[in-house]
Structure 1
Amino acid sequence: MNSIKTLIYAARVAALRFTWPLIAAGVASFLLCFSISFSESLDGNRLLTAISTLTLLMVSFLALDLYAEARSLNKLFLPISRAILLLAAALYWIFIPEYESEIIRYVLLSLAAHLLISFAPFSLSDKDADFWSFNRSIFVRILASVFFSTVLANGIALGFLAITALLGIDVPGSAYAYIYVLSHGIFNTWFFLYGIPSQFQNISEQKQKLILQFAQFILFPLVTMYLAILYIYIIISFAGLEWPKLKLTWLVAAFSAPGILCFLLLFPFQLEEKSTWIIKARKYFFIALLPLSLVMLISVYLRVSVYGFTELMYIASAAGLWLSGISLYFIFYENPVLQMIPRSLALILLLISWGPWGALNVARYSQSKILTGLLEKHNLIDKESGKLIIPEPAKAPAKITEPEIIRKVEYLTEHFGIESIIDLFPMQNSVSRPTSTQEAVYFFTNDLNIESENQNSVYYDFFLERTGGTDYIFTIRDFSKMREFNIYNEKTLMITPEIENEKCNNVDLSAYINNLIESRKETDSDSLLQKNSVLKCRTQTRTITIQFKRIAVSIEDDKKILSAADGYYFY
């Protein structure tokens, strides 16, 4: 009985102290459960974006609560700040485009928000010992929360299995998914929040010898070994009159993380009589890290000078600058403040995640500029209007050997959407304006006769012609349901349609695709899908009608491969 009272008390304390982070975690968890139940009738991308936004909002709420709690701010501050965060999250969810590059922005913002938690309760004048102890407690609590929530979820799942085996009651698969979502989304968060310390000054004297042994006898030797390997590689490269390869950039970034972590863990022991070596080792570590970060920056510069900025290259350059700056700080400051590590890194992450100077905008501008330059080089673009020179259908353009153009088109359209290149197309040639990466690649390789990297392959892309230029119109009176599908990188021409856990036997598209290819040779048109009969297949209980919007086929060494296909199942 006392244990139940203790549990209720702990849950109540955490809920009152961190109400808004718990609300965000709860809503995100229930949305994820909702998506599991109604995945076929929902816009999965928008729902996933909502869940990701709520997760980011939860972490931001927690950092805000810790900041306000440590400073005893007035009651007006928190409601206003929370309203601003809610508005920012709503705008983020509404206006964020569903591009591949937005994943990078989300990761940057998420890392920055998590770093904010590490120093939110502190000012730069606070003791490093309090800062260290608080983050140690946070780290231990995270491990405990993950362990306990995993044990809880696995235990309930085993109970479900026992119910099915012993009582003959069938537990649906979705119930297992609900348990794992709720245990890790709500219980895990609740348990973690209850363990966040509030009296930092009372924690600062905790010193765990286990941490010292781990950092001193495991992390430190590993860091030393990695450091030696990197320097040996650089020396060998210079001896061979070669600059180190680009992969060194990521190796330096990966090496610096455990190195910095090692000296963060060793911090509370550095003033002990037997551990004064820690201060010297820390200084020498950052002295050794400084040349590596400079080599890292030069490697990025050499790459960017040829191929331009991408998001990852921009992040790598920012990481190199941060490592150089933090190394100089710890080398020349006699009493460096530990908080400068997460504070400076969080600031860098926030700066490069948004704005015209952000990683995404710089990458898009850089790649667009290079693409325009390549097109101008081959006289494919009008210098006055900045638009592509579209050849007449009867006049085949000369073959252009410039695979980099295709690479840039693929990169821009996949990372930033078709809007990133659509301004290159003249308005009067609206028929030629692509609506997808596949259409864009097809236009540049076929209409402009630009060679791609794989010169031995043939690529076909067929599209369902839109009615009125914008919409697809289908007759659905014979069906009650419709489901969109997407297929990528099939090694054959076989597909296996699946509806509500029912599968058709393998559907062979060979005859269908051969008919499309032959029709294209006769008409020289890609909008052929509506002229060919739709396909049908049969499950155990129903007939599925397959209507394609697009089919992309590549032929390599006389073998046809289904590169991509999307459309609708009607049933």
Structure 2
Amino acid sequence: MAYFPEIRAKTDIPLMALPRLPLKEIGVAAYQTFLRFPFTLLSAMMGTTVVWLMIDRDSREESILPKLAIISALGLILFFVLELYSERKGNKPALRWGLMALGVLLLATYYFFLPQEPAFKEMMRYLLWMIALHLAASFAAYLNWKVENGFWQFNKSLFLRLLTAALYTAVLFLGLLLALMAFDQLFDVKIDQKIYPKLWIFMVGIFNTWFFLAGVPNPNTLEQVTDYPKGLKLFTQFVLLPLVTLYLVILYAYMGKILVQWEWPRGWVSYLVLGFSTAGIFSLLLIHPVRENEGNRWIRTFAKWFYRALFPLLILLLLAIWRRVRDYGITENRYIVLALALWLLAVALYFLFSRQKNIKFIPMTLGALALLVAVGPWGVFSVSQRSQTGRLQEILMQHQLLVNGKVQKVKKEIPDTAAAEITSIVEYLGEMHQYESVRGWFGMPMDSLFAKKPRYGSKAPITDDVLALMGLQYTRMSQTVETIDANYFSMHARDAEVVAIQGYDYLVSFNDFRYLEEKSEEEFMLGPDKLKVILSEPENAVQINFKQETLRISLDSIIQVHKRQAKTHGTPKQLPAKELLFRVEGNALVVALQITNLQAEKEKGKFHMSNLQGKLLIKLKK
């Protein structure tokens, strides 16, 4: 060792030094983060531990662990909101500990009322509360209406920190995962397979949370900050806003099509309008601080016309929702879409006519909306239950299945339309509300069904058993001519029917002819000769070319007959196979087409094939 300095002096080659890991700095930062957000991190640790125990235990065991996992996730965001508010108020001990005690009390109360095995309804309500709390985190430290720049800077930091934490978590998890797999494959070290999900839960639950919290800025220091990432403006200006404009063009073009053809808007347009509105509002929020800067006057112009352009689209959205509600009543999905449509209308009116145009209006009102719809007689679950119960009561009374408030077994055959609708509502009331509103109609028979152990872990009786109390069988829309709206339907041949094939030489399957373009064709070899089958979507026809002969089977008549049933939302039963059997004879061959499935969509006022499946039976003439 004594020679190393001399060698270094003579050769002038520096010795390589190992990089120093800042372990002390990392430890100090982690400790300070824990002191700043202790209850948030304790919730994350508790949730991670609970999920680890759930991974280890037998999934069939009844346990309080699922409830604890739900409470931990809710507590994480709840305590984050309370700790942010406390910090904004100076972290006075009385206020801080009072808020933490309030948080513990709220979680304990929720735990007490939460079922042992939460059903879909409870999980949906839980999701609404989580959305409300996440929105509250954006403004909890900025309840003062006049403080707007600090609010934007704080949420910008949260957004960027969230992306950074996700990147670090994903890269570190993949690195550790590959390291474990390397030990397993290269050194034959047997690794328990449960290690992998546990590692992921740890990275997401503890590492990601701790890393994110370490970068949360102090809300008391941001009001005078004017930093604005240039890349954020470029991303918004050249990526988000062009996409918003594209959505706008598509939606207005579709609205023009509706006016020209004078038809109802499709239900799917609701999600497109909501997506367009969300993207537009998010874009305007991202560039809000630079709207007054020189050269950025276009931002104010764009914002003004964006909110004006929303009004016709919101009318389109409300019409689409109203049509679905008129035909099928209110469900949770339709209620939420309607609530969001009304909220968007309020946002557009506020930013067009208010002088302040404070961006805090968006998260505050949306968070309040999420809380309001989650509970109460005006809430999403109560309104939906009343609507569907009313529909069921009306249908049952119409067909003498509900007399003096008691369910009666069916005495005469009822239309398949009514049977399918009854099935749909009964299934909904069971899955979402455990038949709370209709148990009195059945009396003791319903109680006996609840005493039975349902399949698939459901808390409600099986739909088939409830329908049996009415003398009905389970009837699906998909077992009949399906009507999604007046622009689409499909028909099916009954399954398990015998089709005579004697007298034919060949069988050609049509199962691959799906989602037709204007023409779709396929070639087959019948001995030395070629058979070409052409499916023509504009003409609704099947054409068979063999040698010098052309045979044609037109399906236009059956399609146009069933379009009337589509318009009136009729649902006749699956058609007998013989009604979907078409035969044509030529000089060289006889062809029988047996359709098993046919779907049609409306285009330019006429229904056209969009999907055809079936079989060709071919007999060669001698």
TM-score band, normalised by shorter chain: 0.7 to 0.9
Once the two structures are TM-superposed, the CA of residue 165 in structure 1 deviates from its matched residue by 3.2
Decide which of 389, 397, 405 is 2:411's aligned counterpart: 397
Once the two structures are TM-superposed, the CA of residue 19 in structure 1 deviates from its matched residue by 0.3
* Secondary structure of the corresponding residue to residue 141 of structure 2: coil
* Secondary structure of the corresponding residue to residue 364 of structure 2: helix
When residues 428 and 114 of structure 1 are mapped into structure 2, their CA distance, relative to the original with a 3 A threshold, is closer
1:279-329 CA distance string (max 9 Å, x none) = 111111011112212321232222212321100111011101100000000
Letter in 2 for 1:406: T
When residues 418 and 451 of structure 1 are mapped into structure 2, their CA distance, relative to the original with a 3 A threshold, is closer
Q: Which residue of 2 aligns with 1:85?
A: 103
Residue 165 of structure 2 is aligned to residue 145 of structure 1: yes
When residues 449 and 170 of structure 1 are mapped into structure 2, their CA distance, relative to the original with a 3 A threshold, is closer
When residues 264 and 447 of structure 1 are mapped into structure 2, their CA distance, relative to the original with a 3 A threshold, is closer
Letter in 2 for 1:290: F
Q: Which residue of 1 aligns with 2:54?
A: 35
* Secondary structure of the corresponding residue to residue 273 of structure 1: coil
Letter in 1 for 2:467: F
- The 8 Å contact of residues 450 and 461 in structure 2, kept in 1 or not, is answered as no
Residue 464 of structure 2 is aligned to residue 441 of structure 1: yes
Decide which of 115, 121, 140 is 1:101's aligned counterpart: 121
When residues 62 and 166 of structure 1 are mapped into structure 2, their CA distance, relative to the original with a 3 A threshold, is same
1:80-128 CA distance string (max 9 Å, x none) = 3323322322332332342222232122111111111111111243432
What CA distance in whole angstroms lies between the structure 2 residues aligned with 1:430 and 1:21? 43
What CA distance in whole angstroms lies between the structure 2 residues aligned with 1:266 and 1:116? 21
When residues 130 and 429 of structure 1 are mapped into structure 2, their CA distance, relative to the original with a 3 A threshold, is closer
1:219-272 CA distance string (max 9 Å, x none) = 111101101111110111121111212221111111111111111111121111
Decide which of 284, 289, 303 is 1:268's aligned counterpart: 289
- The 8 Å contact of residues 326 and 341 in structure 1, kept in 2 or not, is answered as yes
Once the two structures are TM-superposed, the CA of residue 439 in structure 1 deviates from its matched residue by 3.7
Query: Over alpha carbons, which structure has the higher Rg?
Result: 2
What CA distance in whole angstroms lies between the structure 2 residues aligned with 1:366 and 1:172? 51
Decide which of 385, 401, 406 is 1:387's aligned counterpart: 406
Once the two structures are TM-superposed, the CA of residue 434 in structure 1 deviates from its matched residue by 7.9
What CA distance in whole angstroms lies between the structure 2 residues aligned with 1:200 and 1:282? 29
Letter in 2 for 1:60: L
Q: How high is the TM-score relative to the length of structure 1?
A: 0.74
When residues 359 and 298 of structure 1 are mapped into structure 2, their CA distance, relative to the original with a 3 A threshold, is same
Q: Which residue of 1 aligns with 2:541?
A: none
When residues 96 and 206 of structure 1 are mapped into structure 2, their CA distance, relative to the original with a 3 A threshold, is same
Letter in 1 for 2:73: T
What CA distance in whole angstroms lies between the structure 2 residues aligned with 1:432 and 1:170? 48
Alignment of 1:112-127 (within 5 A): 112-127=132-147
Residue 327 of structure 2 is aligned to residue 306 of structure 1: yes
- The 8 Å contact of residues 430 and 461 in structure 2, kept in 1 or not, is answered as no
Letter in 2 for 1:193: L
Q: Which residue of 1 aligns with 2:89?
A: 71
* Secondary structure of the corresponding residue to residue 227 of structure 2: coil
When residues 429 and 220 of structure 1 are mapped into structure 2, their CA distance, relative to the original with a 3 A threshold, is closer
Letter in 2 for 1:301: W
Q: Which residue of 2 aligns with 1:415?
A: 432
Residue 148 of structure 2 is aligned to residue 158 of structure 1: no
What CA distance in whole angstroms lies between the structure 2 residues aligned with 1:433 and 1:166? 54
Q: How high is the TM-score relative to the length of structure 2?
A: 0.69
- Structure 1 residue ranges, 4+ long, deviating more than 4 angstroms after superposition: 428-438, 454-457
Alignment of 1:260-409 (within 5 A): 260-383=281-404, 386-389=405-408, 391=409, 397-401=411-415, 402=418, 403-409=420-426
Letter in 2 for 1:348: L
Q: Which residue of 2 aligns with 1:130?
A: 150
Decide which of 249, 255, 258 is 1:234's aligned counterpart: 255
When residues 176 and 426 of structure 1 are mapped into structure 2, their CA distance, relative to the original with a 3 A threshold, is closer
Q: Which residue of 2 aligns with 1:48?
A: 66
Sequence identity percentage: 31
- The 8 Å contact of residues 418 and 434 in structure 1, kept in 2 or not, is answered as no
- The 8 Å contact of residues 290 and 296 in structure 2, kept in 1 or not, is answered as yes
Once the two structures are TM-superposed, the CA of residue 557 in structure 1 deviates from its matched residue by 11
* Secondary structure of the corresponding residue to residue 76 of structure 1: helix
- The 8 Å contact of residues 149 and 223 in structure 2, kept in 1 or not, is answered as no
When residues 248 and 66 of structure 1 are mapped into structure 2, their CA distance, relative to the original with a 3 A threshold, is same
Q: Which residue of 2 aligns with 1:172?
A: 192
When residues 432 and 119 of structure 1 are mapped into structure 2, their CA distance, relative to the original with a 3 A threshold, is closer
Alignment of 1:492-511 (within 5 A): none
Once the two structures are TM-superposed, the CA of residue 388 in structure 1 deviates from its matched residue by 1.3
When residues 443 and 455 of structure 1 are mapped into structure 2, their CA distance, relative to the original with a 3 A threshold, is farther
Runs of 5+ unmatched residues, structure 2: 1-19, 455-459, 481-574, 578-622
Once the two structures are TM-superposed, the CA of residue 455 in structure 1 deviates from its matched residue by 9.4
Once the two structures are TM-superposed, the CA of residue 66 in structure 1 deviates from its matched residue by 0.6
Letter in 2 for 1:441: D
- The 8 Å contact of residues 20 and 61 in structure 1, kept in 2 or not, is answered as yes
Once the two structures are TM-superposed, the CA of residue 136 in structure 1 deviates from its matched residue by 0.8
Q: Which residue of 1 aligns with 2:4?
A: none
1:33-74 CA distance string (max 9 Å, x none) = 111111345337x53343122111110110111111112253
Structure 1 or 2: more helix by fraction: 1
Count residues in correspondence.
Answer: 453
- The 8 Å contact of residues 154 and 222 in structure 2, kept in 1 or not, is answered as no
Q: Which residue of 2 aligns with 1:541?
A: none
Residue 20 of structure 2 is aligned to residue 22 of structure 1: no
